[in-house]
Amino acid sequence: MTSDPAASKHVPVVIVGGGQAGLSVSRHLQKRGIGHVVFERYRRFHSWRENRWDTFCLVTPNWQCRLPDFPYEGGDPDGFMPKDEIVAYLDAFADSFDPPLIEGVAVTRITPTGEGYRVETSRGVWTADQVVIANGGYDTPIVPPYAKDLDASIVQIHSRDYRRPSQLPAGATLVVGTGQSGVQIMDDLVLDGRKVHLAVGSAPRSPRKYRGRDATDWLYDAGHYAMTIREHPDPQKAVSQTNHYMSGRDGGKEIDLRRYALDDGVALYGTLGGMDGTKIGFLPDLEKNLDDADRSYVGIREAIDAHIERNGIEAPVEPPFEKVWRPEREITEIDAKAEGITAIVWSIGFRPDYSFIEVPVFDELGKPVYDRGVTKVPGFYFVGLGWLNTWGSGRFLAIDEDSRYLAEMIQTVAREGVLEKA
């Protein structure tokens, strides 16, 4: 629904961001009869519609899609929805309760007033008693400063702008980064018959299928996804670590970079270190990064094995893990022209943009400080971020739980009064 922003200038709650997190909070506020408005800079679920490549699929199974009062009910719970089906699911969720959403409105500044918050937007100024920030952490694509030193004839794009192999010029492509986007774009290019070079980072990897089931099914049953950040043995690592890489394409598959090097001729290097003209440098950490990723992979298998044994579950036995390829040597520099590299796809992540928030809710590094999304400033919240509470907080799996909790907090503050708590 698109409303007239001039119709009301004060609401009890402003939600910034019309993605699944913001609209999940909206659903729970609506159920409690709490007045609110959702501002979305573009169109609802913009990132899902516009910032994914054509063959994008969920990495987690469909059954983990559990938005408020709107779980996945399709015919393939163990499958992985492609992009268009994800958008259709999200649109159906929004249509199911008709949120007070205003699209095409950018929030440009939020300041405390002593009685709540002043919210400046591209279409006027609002005031609110409470504010929820749900714009996610994927605002600004990361490209290193030395990218400008690369020869101008080599095309550079970020994973956010990658759509399909034909978008790139003929020749080889260097994909930088091995998080979920990087390895899946690498796979997309390999399947198109492209020569691919890959700068391997520190991202961990996960099994896809193991002992007869998807690894995420085993981990869910073992209670892994119910672990809170407070219970995690290494909270700092949990928050900072890149997601484990695997793929939901073609029914779900494992991504073993050693196998791609052996079978598909993907050229692997360590972390990208710099650029100068056509020269591209890499750190000598390829073998370490591969070994670290495999250590994570084996650790997940061992955790599943322990769960199976602990509960006396009958499950097929898998052969032991084997490293099918090792680098003969660490290559620390290549000439892009000599290698036929005509394009680079940057897949090294994003930075959030909180520049519009002038509320003291950040640490010295500019990161928001909260407990389950609740900051120390009364009536100010964050939602939809990784490890807000559990592993599933930044995903479909736990957004219902997180948004319900924030709605309860909002309701409590509304009853007590923000000023009384300030």
- Taken in order 186, 190, 193, 198, the sign of the CA dihedral is positive
- Domains 5-139+352-421 and 143-346 belong to one CATH topology: yes
What CATH number belongs to 143-346?
3.50.50.60
Report the chain's C-alpha Rg in angstroms: 23
> What is the model's pLDDT at position 239?
87
- Whole-number Å distance between alpha carbons of 407 and 132: 10
Nearest C-alpha neighbor of 391 from the set 59, 168, 155: 59
Do residues 217 and 145 lie in contact, with contact meaning Cβ atoms separated by under 8 Å? Answer: no
Strands 107-112, 117-121: parallel, antiparallel or unpaired by DSSP?
A: antiparallel
> What is the model's pLDDT at position 195?
98
Copy the structure tokens of residue 421: 């708590």
What CATH number belongs to 5-139+352-421?
3.50.50.60
Across 113-204, the runs of DSSP E, i.e. the strands, are 117-121, 124-133, 140-141, 155-158, 172-176, 196-199
User: 267 Cβ partners below 8 Å, 6+ apart?
Assistant: 195, 196, 197, 198, 261, 339
SS3 304: helix
Helix or strand run (H / E) with residue 408: helix 399-416
- Whole-number Å distance between alpha carbons of 88 and 75: 15
Copy the structure tokens of residue 203: 């991202």
> What is the model's pLDDT at position 8?
58
- Whole-number Å distance between alpha carbons of 23 and 5: 18
For residue 316, give Cα distances in angstroms to 61, 298, 308.
Answer: 21, 17, 10
> What is the model's pLDDT at position 1?
45
> What is the model's pLDDT at position 201?
96
Distance of CA 136 to the CA centre of its chain: 8
SS3 228: strand
Across 200-327, the runs of DSSP E, i.e. the strands, are 209-210, 213-214, 267-269, 272-276, 279-282
Residue ranges in 252-398 assigned as alpha helix (H): 257-264, 286-310, 336-339
User: 332 Cβ partners below 8 Å, 6+ apart?
Assistant: 270, 273, 281, 282, 283, 284
Copy the structure tokens of residue 267: 């050229």
> What is the model's pLDDT at position 422?
37
- Whole-number Å distance between alpha carbons of 151 and 343: 11
> What is the model's pLDDT at position 415?
84
SS3 145: helix
- Whole-number Å distance between alpha carbons of 134 and 381: 9
Do residues 76 and 57 lie in contact, with contact meaning Cβ atoms separated by under 8 Å? Answer: no
Q: Which residues pair with 275 in a beta bridge?
A: 280
Placement of tokens 């910032």 in the chain: 51
Task: Give me the residue spans of the domains in the chain.
Answer: 5-139+352-421, 143-346
> What is the model's pLDDT at position 292?
97
Per-residue pLDDT in tens (0 to 9) along the chain, 422 residues: 444 444 459 999 999 999 999 999 999 999 999 999 999 999 999 999 999 999 999 999 999 999 999 999 999 999 999 999 999 999 999 999 999 999 999 999 999 998 999 999 999 999 999 999 999 888 899 999 999 999 999 999 999 999 999 999 999 999 999 999 999 999 999 999 999 999 999 999 999 999 999 999 999 999 999 999 999 999 988 888 888 999 999 999 999 999 999 999 999 999 999 999 999 999 999 999 999 999 999 999 999 999 999 999 999 999 999 999 999 999 999 999 999 999 999 999 999 999 999 999 999 999 999 999 999 999 999 999 999 999 999 899 999 999 999 999 999 999 877 444 33
Biggest CA-to-CA distance, the chain: 68
pTM of the model: 0.94
Report DSSP letters for 118-135, one per residue. EEEETTEEEEEEEEEE--
Convert 250-279 to b/e letters by CB count within 10 Å (16 or more is b). eebebbbbbebbeeeebbbbbbbbbbeebb
